Structure 1
Amino acid sequence: MPDWMPFSSELFFTRGLRIAGILVLALVAGRLLRTLTNHLIEHAAAPTRVALLREQQTRTMAGILYSTGTAILATLALLMVLGELGLNLVPVLTAAGLASVAFGLGAQHLVRDLINGFFIVFEDQFVIGDTVRLGDTVGRVEQFTLRRTVLRDAQGALLSVPNGEIRQVANLSRDWSQQFVDVFVPAEVEVDRALGLLEAVAAELRTDQDWVAALLDGPRVLGVESFGPAGVTLRLQVRTVAGRQHDVARELRRRIKARFESEQLPLGTERSADLQTGTYGSS
């Protein structure tokens, strides 16, 4: 019997069984990892988000953790299999370490993007569907990966922002949104009468069943915001569910204009013919 037969038998039977066991354990661990990550993330998420956005966050976070865990398991399984085959792992690990250092030095921006992207998801700073301000860029999040965030701005432009360049996040659609509506009233209109009309319009909107579901607070008339020789600026405030502030503000402006027209009162001047608004959200 040739000398290589005992070695061959050991390799294909004893070591073969060990290698098969390692692979089976790795597969089982991968399945358990997917189950555990989905379970833990679903129960850890705070129930304060829209169901669709929470589902997206859970799916994204689970995918990240599963991919990372799978890579670690695959690496460990590969090293164990190489060890069972009798290979010297020291040169392999040394080469892998040198390759990692070289890759890290040559791809620092990519690594920074990936790390920052992970923390954006982990800390729930925003998810797909949110309207955010990233530095000077404002838009709706249409796509998110660990490397970049894709926004659609008000003009319809698609903007790609590397996650590593994101230093400050302002989430404009988290939990609630707020809108200010400024109404310029000419000097010839009595201020108290104008305030009374605004109060009436605000009260009507607060009790309108078509809009109650979108309102959290107000509309409320705050009073005189500013004044000058040409007239005064009156301000209203309304707090809505996330993302509905613009719809409510448009309806409020429409009703204000209609009420002033019915009372035959002028509204605005050439320099402020439209009702000016300001908006912000809070996280």
Structure 2
Amino acid sequence: MSSVLNFLSSITLSTALHLLGIILLALLVNRFLKILTKLIIKPATSQARAAQAREQQTRTLAGVLYSAISKVVWVVALITALDLFGINPIPALTLAGLASVAVGFGAQNLVRDLITGFYIVLEDQYAVGDTIQFGEATGRVEHLTLRRTVIRDARGALVTIANGDIRTVANLSRDWSQTFVDVALAPEIALDQPLAALEAASAELRADPAWSQAIVDGPRILGVQALA
């Protein structure tokens, strides 16, 4: 306790002001970085699906860049602050380098996650807002970083996936996708009336302005598929 008090008492007004300046400068740089990365975002100029997807992609890229560079800014600020208190940062950096080598084998999964996440963003495999399928997990991407992907599945659960575990992923939102809906009927019901009702519902859906831009083709009635 006394050593802490001695350390605090040794801090001069000039040192405190310099430390405050370092913190304020780091905050200002991060603020400027936030504004700069927002310039990457291309707001959708229409309700077209391609324009909406492009906005989501650029938002994801801006978020990843800000997160990565912001961490670098704070590391530089910390090193500068150590030097301000007379602590040579070189031995600390050397020790950190040796420690990183020592734990490198244990951090292989982390490095793999970061590299895979970088290529996911760079190659635009998917972005926040897309619906993806990975293994048995299917859901809407709610958060994407270099290390992990977070999706919300049909149950409403948040599923966290390490990017390094993603080998094959299906993007169900890109360009177009389709689904099949089976309608079960009792055997004694005549088919003419249900088929006519389904055709009418399909035509109504195609004519609905809220859905017409999102529908590429169909819906189509394929007819009887199986008898039970």
* Aligned equivalents of 1:67, 1:168: Cα separation in 2: 26
Contact 2:42 2:54 in 1 (8 A): no
1:139 aligns with 2:113: no
Percent identity at matched positions? 44
Counterpart amino acid of residue 227 in structure 2:
A
SS at 1:167's partner residue?
Answer: coil
TM-score (norm 1): 0.54
* Aligned equivalents of 1:21, 1:171: Cα separation in 2: 46
Q: Which residue of 2 aligns with 1:65?
A: 65
User: Alignment partner for residue 205 of structure 1, among 203, 206, 217?
Assistant: 203
Cα distance change of structure 1 residues 90 and 175 upon mapping to structure 2, 3 Å threshold: same
Q: Which has the higher contact order (CA 8 A, sep 6+)?
A: 1
Q: How many residues align?
A: 201
Contact 1:56 1:127 in 2 (8 A): yes
Q: Which residue of 2 aligns with 1:174?
A: 174
CA positional deviation for 1:123: 3.5
Calculate the aligned-residue CA RMSD, in Å.
4.3
* Aligned equivalents of 2:89, 2:155: Cα separation in 1: 56
SS at 1:74's partner residue?
Answer: helix
Contact 1:133 1:169 in 2 (8 A): yes
Q: Which residue of 1 aligns with 2:3?
A: none
SS at 2:167's partner residue?
Answer: coil
Alignment of 1:18-29 (within 5 A): 18-29=18-29
SS at 2:149's partner residue?
Answer: strand
Contact 1:127 1:141 in 2 (8 A): no
TM-score (norm 2): 0.64
Structure 1, unpaired ranges of 5+: 1-9, 182-196, 219-237, 239-247, 258-266, 275-283
SS at 1:176's partner residue?
Answer: coil
CA positional deviation for 1:76: 0.9
Counterpart amino acid of residue 64 in structure 1:
V
Larger Rg: 1
Q: Which residue of 1 aligns with 2:127?
A: 127
Q: Which residue of 1 aligns with 2:105?
A: 105
Q: Which residue of 1 aligns with 2:227?
A: 273
Cα distance change of structure 1 residues 74 and 160 upon mapping to structure 2, 3 Å threshold: closer
More strand by share: 1
Contact 2:60 2:127 in 1 (8 A): no
SS at 2:71's partner residue?
Answer: helix
Q: Which residue of 2 aligns with 1:86?
A: 86
* Aligned equivalents of 2:214, 2:168: Cα separation in 1: 28
Contact 1:143 1:151 in 2 (8 A): yes
Structure 2, unpaired ranges of 5+: 1-9, 182-194
